[in-house]
Amino acid sequence: MSRTYIALIMLLFLVIEGTLFQFVIPDNYNQELIFVPRFLIVILVLIGIHMGRYTSVIYGLIYGMFYDVIYTELLGVYVFGFGLIGYLFALTNKRVQDSILLQLLLIVTAVCLFECYQYGLFQIIGITDMAGELFFKQRLVPTAVLNGAFAILIYYPFKKIVNYVKLQANMRDR
């Protein structure tokens, strides 16, 4: 049962990211800033740091496919991006696991990397025509701040859940 906790948490944030968040920050405030929730990336990086690369990549591929099928018309963008983020940012070094600041830096870096990957891909394909400077000011910085704040809020509860899941797995292995 404890194995499903992380999958259910990710499913919850998949729904929040794609639907409920639109009600929290609607587009009609006449602001120039674009806030994009990347809560799944935040959780993927935390999974990679605390549970390992294999687990992070598997969750990244599965939830990237969910995201592609449910929210986008272009299949593969999120599968590849989430899988790559899960692979690159799964640093299980004890020094990384003990430092919340280093983990927050990795999370914000992962969010920025994914946003630049998605922007570049959409620019090449012709889906977006936003200039690079505009992208940086209006989308990248607000998105990094939003997801950094989310990472601060979710860090300790998620770490406790991961520790509980690890404890239950160790008890099952005995």
Answer whether residue 24 is part of any domain: no
Residue 68 pLDDT more than 80?
Answer: yes
The predicted structure's pLDDT at residue 1: 64
Residue 129: which residues within 8 A CB-CB, separation 6 or more? 123
Q: What pLDDT, on the 0 to 100 scale, is given for residue 102? A: 94
Residue 55, domain extent: 3-15+37-173
Number of H helices, E strands in the chain: 9, 0
For 116-160, the DSSP string reads HHHHHHHHHHTS----HHHIIIIIIHHHHHHHHHHHHHHHHHHHH
Do residues 5 and 158 touch, judged by C-beta distance below 8 A? no
In a domain, 31, yes or no: no
pLDDT, position 32:
83
Pick the more confident residue, 34 or 30. Answer: 34
In a domain, 122, yes or no: yes
pLDDT band per the 50, 70, 90 thresholds, residue 151: very high
User: Which pLDDT score, from 0 to 100, does residue 30 have?
Assistant: 58
Tell me if 30 is assigned to some domain.
Answer: no
Q: Could you report the per-residue pLDDT of 77-131, keeping only the tens digit for each?
A: 999 999 999 999 988 788 888 899 999 999 999 999 999 999 999 999 988 888 9
Q: Is residue 121 part of a domain?
A: yes
Q: Domains in the chain: how many in total?
A: 1
The pLDDT assigned to 29 comes to 60
DSSP letters, 156-171, are HHHHHHHHHHHHHHHH
Contact 64, 41 (CB under 8 A): no
pTM for the structure as a whole: 0.92
Does 32 reside within a domain?
A: no
Tokens of 171: 């008890």
Q: What per-residue confidence (pLDDT) applies to 93?
A: 82
* Residue 143 domain-assigned (yes or no): yes
In a domain, residue 61? The reply is yes
Residue 149 CB partners (closer than 8 Å, separation 6+)? none
Question: Which letter does DSSP use for residue 59 in this model?
Answer: H
CB 82 within 8 A of CB 20: no
